[in-house]
Amino acid sequence: MIVQPKPVPPDDVLSSRIAGEQYDNAVEAWGEEGWARVSRLCRFFDTMGMRGLDCPPPPRPG
């Protein structure tokens, strides 16, 4: 597993609406992927018998 660094805001993030939106989208995608990895690890350790976990269900196909 590779931990992805948080996206770095571009220089024009405050002066360009498009750059700001692109940065927001990049941060959102980074966060979603990170939580998806945490969820997969949670379910893995749950199947291994680790106690005290409250894992989200896997995503539905489609």
Q: Which domain holds residue 30?
A: 17-47
Q: Is residue 57 part of a domain?
A: no
Q: Which pLDDT does position 52 carry in this prediction?
A: 97
> What confidence tens digit (pLDDT) does each residue in 1-59 have?
788 999 999 999 999 999 999 999 999 999 999 999 999 999 999 999 999 999 999 88
pTM of the model: 0.80
Q: Is residue 33 part of a domain?
A: yes
Q: Which pLDDT does position 1 carry in this prediction?
A: 76
Q: Which pLDDT does position 9 carry in this prediction?
A: 97
Q: Is residue 11 part of a domain?
A: no
Q: Please tell me whether residue 33 adopts helix, strand or coil conformation.
A: helix
Q: Is residue 9 part of a domain?
A: no
Q: Is residue 25 part of a domain?
A: yes
Q: Is residue 3 part of a domain?
A: no
Report how far residue 10's alpha carbon sits from residue 20's, in angstroms, rounded to the nearest whole number. 8
Domain count, the chain: 1
Tokens of 43: 């379910």
